[in-house]
Amino acid sequence: MLRRINLLYIAIPFLCWGLWGIFKHISRSTATFYGFAENNETSINLDHPLVVNKIYVKPGQFVTKGTLMLEVSRIALDFKMNELSSNITQIESSNAWRVAELRARMEQIRSEKAEKVGNLVSNIRILESELAMNKRLINGLQTVQSSDTIGLKNSPAQAKINALREEINLVTQPYDKELSTLSQEIQLAGKPKETEIGRLKNEVNLYKKEQGRLSIYAPTDGLIGNIHCKEGENIADFTTLISFYEQNPNMVVGYVHESLSLKINIGDSLKVISSLHPSEQSMGVISGLGHRIIEIPERLRKIPELRTYGREVLIEIPRNNHFLQKEKVLLQWPDQALNPFQSMFTEKK
């Protein structure tokens, strides 16, 4: 009985050491998780219907920034530009017609004024001729008295001449006033139209800029993904034309086990290790966290046959890496090799 007790006491330390090793292995396994490298994908589309004229690239092709990928046309754009140009021409013609109309009215008024004033001046000249003749007759008489000469100044003919001159002033005033009004109308005739024409010309300039967007260029260096259109095809607005990928992955999508979901925060640094080439490593920073617990994809489970659940994590990584698109990577805290429990049990400051 005594021997059995002593053997049990001897076995207990070994048992504890074994349990500690198992727990350490499990903890280290739990403190690491998996993800896959992801390239930044850009869906290239336009906000209006179009026709594809020419495709210059192929799926999987590497292109540099500014490479011409597509040429498209917008039928409605040409129609709208022609319509606007027609409206501008119509407004300018209407304005020119109005100015010509006003000028014709001014010429008519000048003619009427000249005719009436001419008649009055003609009558004045007739009376002045008669008055001059009477004066010569009187001056020819030897017996004429000075009072007779004075009487010529107050004669009925002179009174008519004065009346006609006053009538000329009265006649010309309305004509001059109307001519001044018409002149002002001519100066102001184009002002409201100029505003409308300016607005239409601005629209034309906007459509010309839209025409510049009809040649589609690569936004950065990268890879052509799928081409979702064909030459000659009519494409609806906002329909993806080309999927474009940056050359190197710049993000990792991972899934942290639910037991660690509260121990990871935005801004934490992680080590990203290639599952194919462990020597290929990079540092990443957590930029986003999912807001719910979801099933971890089978490919990223530590034991694929065992369903596990966790939280989605987005990690930004430098672009100068050699990870492949969708490559599986191992994610761990930078100090994992020294102390796998530190990040789990140390409270964040």
- Which band of pLDDT confidence, cut at 50, 70 and 90, is reported for residue 8? low
Contact of 229 with 247, CB cutoff 8 Å: no
Spatial CB neighbours of 273, under 8 Å, sequence gap ≥ 6? 280, 281, 329, 330, 331, 332
* pLDDT number for residue 349: 33
Question: For residue 191, what pLDDT is reported?
Answer: 61
* Measured distance CA(220)–CA(246) in Å, rounded: 7
Concatenate the DSSP letters of all residues of 278-342 into one string.
TT-EEEEEEEEEEEEEEEPPGGG-SSTTS--EEEEEEEE--SS--PPTT-EEEEE-TTTTT-TTH
Provide the token pair at 195: 């505003």
Task: Identify the weakest region by mean pLDDT among 3-17, 19-33, 292-306.
Answer: 19-33
**pLDDT at position 136, please?**
74
Looking at residue 93, its amino acid is S
Confidence of residue 2 (pLDDT cuts 50, 70, 90): very low
For residue 227, pLDDT over 90 is answered with yes
Examine the pLDDT at 285 and tell me if it is beyond 90: yes
**Of the candidate ranges 61-70, 79-88, 142-151, 190-199, the one whose mean pLDDT is the lowest:** 142-151
- Cα–Cα distances (Å) from 342 to 53, 252, 345, in that order, read 60, 23, 6
- pTM check: above 0.85: no
Q: What local confidence, expressed as pLDDT, does residue 338 receive?
A: 37
Q: What pLDDT shows up at residue 110?
A: 86
Q: What is the CATH number of domain 31-39+248-345?
A: 2.40.30.170
CATH for the stretch 43-74+214-245: 2.40.50.100
Instruction: Name the residue ranges covered by the structural domains of the chain.
Output: 31-39+248-345, 43-74+214-245, 77-209
